[in-house]
Amino acid sequence: MFKSLKLRGAITVVVCLVALYFLVPTFVDNIPSPWNQYLAKEKIHLGLDLQGGMHLVLEIDTDKALEAMMERSANDLKESLMDNKVRFRNVEKAKGATISLELTDSAGKSTLDKVLKDHFPDMEIASTTPREGGQLVLLKVNDKRAVELKKLTVEHSLETIRNRVDQFGVAEPEIIQEGENRILVQLPGIKDPERAKNLIGKTALLEFKLVDEENSLDEALRGKVPESSVIAYGLREDRSSGQKGQVPYLLKNKTLLTGASLETAKVQISDRFGEPNVSITFNSQGAADFDRITNENVRKRLAIVLDGVVHSAPVIQERISGGQAQITGNFTMEEARDLAIVLRAGALPAPVNILEERTVGPSLGSDSIQQGILATIIGSLLVILFMIVYYRLSGAVADIALIINVFLILATLAALHGTLTLPGIAGMLLTVGVAVDANILIFERIREELRTGKTARLALDTGYNRAFITIIDTHISGIIAAIILMFFGTGPIKGFAVTTIIGLLVSLFTAVFVTRVIFDYVTWNFNIKKLSI
């Protein structure tokens, strides 16, 4: 390919220098200035299995989001139908994301069509069944819009989780969408995984609802829940005994205000008990709404509901104009802080399920690094020693190429911002074993050629040329297997596949190109007649 030895030597040196440029930051912690300005900034990233951390795969329950939307629409639809004087009964959310209603008037259908067209363009009629004195209509979200809504839900969830993690303070988190409705969250170096999971997975839907004081709670608990109300529970902890219990509340269905109207939320310590609570500030629209709501409902109780759990239901003493409120409850400092974070970051539009979790503690991670490095050093030394014993000086040449190979793999990882995992280290070590294969192929071939009486220079030439095509074949088959692994594997296994692919590509350069440069340099300059092989 390149006849000129000088050119080939220069290429080798340049490649090694570039590798050094990317690698120095990984191996030297504090590069003295002015040198630090001239070197790459990034270190090699360690995978979660090496530095400790948490890997989560979350599934966004987009069907639930659609159902929740239909539930809200059912109320709006009811009002619209009344405004348009359509006679109907039993508007309710039915199975799946559908709404069922009964039209009791044959003229109602055309008005319903018009209402849907004007006010609910996302909905369509799924089916109609004739009923005595009318018909049963089933409404659903039209398919195209449903797909869109689900997509938006996932995007919104991704954004919310990102916000929460940012505010929680994790260095270099990775939060990406996987597939249609899955989100991969990687949090390196996390200390308290349970807390992080709570923070990420909490829906954090904050709602303000009036307590229904016109109807009896006891009646409702016996099963007679008024149509416009719902039973919700709050947690209560008895201060003296520490016993936990549930307190039932009868709440009005209608949500007056949600967390969406918040400007910010922060932790405050209450004056009386020194307990933390979360102080929320509404945005301008929210503040105006809150002003109106409190003004209209003085002396009534307003429940603060978070994810369906009533946190408190204080009596509105007077109109509140400042746009401020407190959420109290038996919070620890941590809980209050986390609640403030999720409120600031906003509610998740749909519940999330944790599909997969892998958490590695920092101590196991550092053990793994040590063991991985030890295995790599010992394994490489064994191979290096073997090559020298078996092929002598030629073996030493192969060893130089091998060491360059390992450094180039690491440099490529650093340059591509790749991640080194424990299986990645294993892959690197395996590459060491496989990379010398190219040299063994070449050397065995050279020995064969020497046996036929060829001169050193000619044997070198033939050996390299004949072995080359075989080396290409073996490398490509190895790369094929590794690429398949890369597409199907998860985190750490991907690391194994990536280092193997890099290793194989790099070994084409080191084991074939670099060793040839060394051989040519030595045989041409020192006029070697006999190879040490």
Partner 1 sequence: MSMELIKPGINIDFVGKMKYAILLSAILILIGIGSVIYHGGLNPGIDFAGGSIIQVKFTKNITADQIRTAFKSTKLENSTIQQFGVNEFLVRTAESFSDPKILAANVAQPLTAAFSKDYEIRRVEVVGSKVGADFTRKGIIAVVLSWLAILIYVTWRFEFRYAAGGILALVHDTLIVIGAVSIMNMEFTISILAALIFVIGFSINDTIVTLDRIREIVKLNTKQTLGQIINSAINQTLSRTILTSLTVFLTLLALYIFGGAVIRDFAFALLIGTVIGTYSTIYIACTSVLFFEKMRPAKLKRNA
Q: Rule CB under 8 A: which of 414-453 touch partner 1?
A: 422-423, 426, 429-430, 432-434, 436-437, 440-441, 444, 447-448, 451
Single residue of 269, 309, 382, 416 touching partner 1 by CB under 8 A:
382
* Touching partner 1, residues 168-207 (CB under 8 A): 193-194, 197-198, 201
Single residue of 172, 180, 219, 473 touching partner 1 by CB under 8 A:
473
- Which residue's CB is nearer to partner 1, number 197 or number 344? 197
Query: In a 3-state reduction of DSSP, which class is residue 272?
Result: coil
Single residue of 82, 298, 374, 416 touching partner 1 by CB under 8 A:
374
Q: Please, what is the minimum distance in Å from the beta carbon of residue 369 to partner 1?
A: 10
Q: Could you tell me which of 93, 97, 90, 94 has the C-alpha nearest to residue 142? A: 97
Single residue of 221, 364, 403, 416 touching partner 1 by CB under 8 A:
364
Q: Could you tell me which of 486, 485, 348, 358 has the C-alpha nearest to residue 59? A: 348
Structure tokens at 303: 């429940």
Q: Please, what is the minimum distance in Å from the beta carbon of residue 14 to partner 1?
A: 29
**DSSP state at residue 366:** H
- Which residue's CB is nearer to partner 1, number 37 or number 363? 363
H-run or E-run covering 362 = helix 362-415
Exposed e or buried b per residue across 69-91, where buried means at least 16 C-beta atoms within 10 angstroms of its C-beta: bbeebbeebeebbeeeebbbeeb
For residues 51 and 171, give the distance between their C-alpha atoms in angstroms, rounded to a whole number: 12
Query: In a 3-state reduction of DSSP, which class is residue 19?
Result: helix
For residues 333 and 335, give the distance between their C-alpha atoms in angstroms, rounded to a whole number: 6
* Touching partner 1, residues 3-32 (CB under 8 A): none
Q: Please, what is the minimum distance in Å from the beta carbon of residue 533 to partner 1?
A: 6
Single residue of 186, 380, 405, 499 touching partner 1 by CB under 8 A:
380
For residues 279 and 328, give the distance between their C-alpha atoms in angstroms, rounded to a whole number: 9
359 belongs to the binding site for partner 1 (CB under 8 A) = yes
389 belongs to the binding site for partner 1 (CB under 8 A) = yes
* Touching partner 1, residues 483-522 (CB under 8 A): 484-485, 487-490, 492-493, 496-497, 500
Structure tokens at 458: 């000619």
Cis peptide before 248 (omega within 30 of 0): no
For residues 130 and 522, give the distance between their C-alpha atoms in angstroms, rounded to a whole number: 96
- Which residue's CB is nearer to partner 1, number 302 or number 504? 504
- Which residue's CB is nearer to partner 1, number 286 or number 503? 503
Size of the site for partner 1 (CB under 8 A): 76
For residues 183 and 175, give the distance between their C-alpha atoms in angstroms, rounded to a whole number: 7
Single residue of 285, 390, 465, 524 touching partner 1 by CB under 8 A:
390
Any bridge partners for residue 209, and if so which? 303
* Touching partner 1, residues 452-471 (CB under 8 A): 466, 469-470
- Which residue's CB is nearer to partner 1, number 74 or number 501? 501
Q: Please, what is the minimum distance in Å from the beta carbon of residue 499 to partner 1?
A: 12
For residues 287 and 293, give the distance between their C-alpha atoms in angstroms, rounded to a whole number: 10
